[in-house]
Amino acid sequence: MNLSLFLKIIGIIIIIYLIVVLYVYFKQRSLLYVPNIDNYSDEELIINVDEVFIENSDGNKLRSVFFKNPNNTNNTLLMFHGNAGPIENRFYKLNKLSKYNQNILLISWRSYSGNEGSPTEKGLYDDAISAVKWLQNKGYKKEDIIIYGESLGTAVSIEIAQNEPFKGLILEAPFTSMVDAAKFHYPYLPVSWMLKDRYMSKDKIKNIITPLLILHAKGDTIVPFWMGEKMYELANEPKMNYFIDENEHLVTYDDELMNMMDNFYKLISVDG
């Protein structure tokens, strides 16, 4: 192969690589936020809930469901879902978690579950803060609220829970940062400078002052298990973990998990 041909091949490879980089850069949010991907089997609710719409700062009305516990408790679980699918995919969790003496508010992000708006890191933070304000307007204090974040929702949960006196924090499949997660999935791309939404949870977890429970499957191929371990290592006491030998992204809601939930709810003084 002569030098001229070699240089042409190298040039073509560089051009193709730059095209890939530019494509991913401009499409990154549509790759990260996938409201129309439905990976889970919906479960019918066995509890009575009200459909409510929570308005965020941009005027988007976020479709949500609210379970009002018949015991008239102030304890309230606020749930933030992950990057894919509608809120119906999480109804099985509501069915299980309604056993505790708590109300439950499950919100959906902007552009999810039929909502308007475009998701961004800043936007999701605003959605979450709007949900907290909605509860406060109903008479619930931050000290009454347990926050539950799932996957992408863990980063939002950590952001709004920093230095705040929430009753508890549950993180399911947390990642250290979106930069680290992107490096895991796209090791051939310069993601450190490409990413718009960075979700630097590992830099914020030290600011959590509320009791913490981290759930993570050891065989998780979407958010690798080492990230959950690292987040647990960085977190303050009191903290608990449920690290299970499963190959799913989200943990299975079985008796073993619910036993761990029982222990955590006892820690934060909520009856089962």
Evaluate if residue 233 carries a pLDDT over 80. yes
Give CA–CA dist 113/195, Å, rounded.
25
Evaluate if residue 42 carries a pLDDT over 80. no
State percent of the chain over pLDDT 90: 89
3-class state of residue 226 by DSSP: helix
Evaluate if residue 6 carries a pLDDT over 80. no
| Residue 267, pLDDT score | 96
Which backbone phi and psi does 9 adopt, to 5 degrees?
Answer: -65, -45
Q: What is the mean pLDDT of residues 71-88?
A: 95
Give CA–CA dist 272/261, Å, rounded.
9
List the one residue out of 206, 147, 155, 148 whose CA is nearest residue 176.
155
| Higher per-residue pLDDT: 213 or 38 | 213
Q: What is the mean pLDDT of residues 127-134?
A: 98
| Residue 62, pLDDT score | 98
Evaluate if residue 1 carries a pLDDT over 70. no
Global pTM value: 0.95
Give the pLDDT confidence of 168-190 residue by residue, as tens digits: 999 999 999 999 999 999 999 99
Give the pLDDT confidence of 50-71 residue by residue, as tens digits: 999 999 999 999 999 999 999 9
Average pLDDT along the chain? 94
CA angle 90, 125, 123 (to 5 degrees): 95
Give CA–CA dist 76/97, Å, rounded.
11
Give the pLDDT confidence of 109-127 residue by residue, as tens digits: 999 999 999 999 999 999 9
Which backbone phi and psi does 61 adopt, to 5 degrees?
Answer: -100, 115
Give CA–CA dist 216/12, Å, rounded.
43
| Residue 9, pLDDT score | 85
Q: What is the mean pLDDT of residues 92-104?
A: 96
Q: What is the mean pLDDT of residues 72-80?
A: 97
| Residue 90, pLDDT score | 93
Evaluate if residue 39 carries a pLDDT over 80. no
Q: Which two tokens stand for residue 25?
A: 């850069």
Q: What is the mean pLDDT of residues 246-262?
A: 94
Could you say which DSSP state residue 88 is in?
G
Confidence tier at 257 by pLDDT (50, 70, 90): very high
